[in-house]
Amino acid sequence: MEFKYFAFVNKDNVVENVIVCNSIEDFRDLTVNTPMGMSPGRWIPVTEKTRKPSKGYNYCPTKNMFYPDQRFKSWHLDEELMDWAPPTPKPEKEFVDGKLITAWLWDEDNVKWVAQTCVNCDPPSPNDL
């Protein structure tokens, strides 16, 4: 059975609640028969295009898409993708023999990517200690 997700978006286009129902009929029954106690707003059905939201996400009515809050001040909203983009592209992760050797984290204070090495390396063997 495929579940249906619905997001309650307030007048400021911020998600206040997300519910899951078995069907559109169950959703209609729920909203008609159960007062939700929400501020003025509307329910938006979640689709593959809208993406699944979480409480606190934003909703763009013209694109019919949900997107998270801005994580970092230096990042800008890519209005085509409706997602936050860094000022410089993220470098690729580095793998050796299938093990993650280098990953990248954003350093907002210095506005750059910082390498995080040996994220998924095996622990040292007793002979290495």
How is the chain classified by DSSP, letter by letter? ---EEEEEEETTSBEEEEEEESSHHHHHHHHHHS---PPSEEEEE--TTT----TT-EEETTTTEEEPPPSSTT-EEETTTTEEE-SSPPPPPEEETTEEEEEEEEETTTTEEEEEESTTPPPPPGGG-
Structure confidence at residue 36 (pLDDT): 63
Report yes or no: 60 and 82 within 8 Å, Cβ to Cβ.
yes
Position 119 confidence tier, pLDDT thresholds 50, 70, 90:
low
Whether residue 114 sits in one domain with residue 57:
no
Least confident residue range of 17-21, 38-42, 47-51: 38-42
Q: Looking at the domain assignment, is residue 85 inside a domain?
A: no
Last residue of a domain, one of 53, 69, 85: 69
Name the most confidently modeled range: 16-20, 76-80, 117-121.
76-80
Count up the domains in the chain and report the number: 2
Q: Looking at the domain assignment, is residue 38 inside a domain?
A: yes
Q: Looking at the domain assignment, is residue 33 inside a domain?
A: yes
Q: By residue range, what is the domain housing residue 106? A: 94-128
Q: Looking at the domain assignment, is residue 61 inside a domain?
A: yes
The two three-digit tokens of residue 4, written as one number: 């249906």
Strand order in the sheet with 4-10: 15-21, 4-10, 41-45
Q: Looking at the domain assignment, is residue 77 inside a domain?
A: no
The two three-digit tokens of residue 123, written as one number: 């622990």
Report yes or no: 108 and 72 within 8 Å, Cβ to Cβ.
yes
Q: Looking at the domain assignment, is residue 42 inside a domain?
A: yes
- Global model pTM greater than 0.85: no
Q: Looking at the domain assignment, is residue 107 inside a domain?
A: yes
Whether residue 105 sits in one domain with residue 61:
no
Whether residue 121 sits in one domain with residue 64:
no
Position 125 confidence tier, pLDDT thresholds 50, 70, 90:
very low
pLDDT at 128 over 50: no
Whether residue 63 sits in one domain with residue 9:
yes
Strands 4-10 and 112-117 come out as unpaired
Average pLDDT, the chain: 85
Q: Looking at the domain assignment, is residue 74 inside a domain?
A: no
